[in-house]
Structure 1
């Protein structure tokens, strides 16, 4: 299973749904550019019979100036829905539960996170958050950040 080749043409991102969008903007003028703490975690759900996988990404952004948290940032939850034509090739049943290959899950997380980066860039472009571009990450680290 772990050596199963990922075939991009068999992975279909079919829908993206915003579950939570809570953007918080500081009320007033900022004299100093804040630094941002960005936390991303995920949750994965599946329907094996229908070959469907849902990745939910959680994004928490908070701002600080001189070590003091200010009221700017936000909390977001976005679902990414996938139809996987060869889903059966990417898991094995272990204790009556599917165990998905790490490379397969990392591939879906990478697609989801990359898409999230574009979504947030567009959402924030006309706000005080326009200087934030979500960082490029090590996807296996995201794999460990379950919520």
Structure 2
């Protein structure tokens, strides 16, 4: 796939902050099928859902979350449950890396009890050729802009990722 990378746009932190602090849990709302919280799913099983983020800083940026509302993997998941969850994170990362050019797969758990409290893992594929000063945290920070992606392109990307499972 030799497409030009999407352009970036400024991220509206104020609107985002209101949505995550005043709205429902975004993962629970997505799992419940609320139309205003829909995402493009890339993986789903009995316990876990993975989907493309609405505000990607890298093409293919996914979130992987347990379907149950869990806020702490340290305190609320038994070791075997956590290992099962991480095996899905690994599976989704491999499918993602097989779909988009990836020099390094970033993986982390973000969120807080103040906003986006539902446990979710971020998978962000760094494409080859990104200058070093624009890698790592720089490439993940919405302060540096988010990619302009349309719904049709995101749906097609999600399908290509699903096809890798």
After TM superposition, is the score higher than 0.5? no
More helix by share: 2
Normalised to the residue count of structure 2, the TM-score between the two structures is 0.27
Which protein, 1 or 2, shows the higher relative CO under an 8 Å CA cutoff with sep ≥ 6?
2
More strand by share: 1
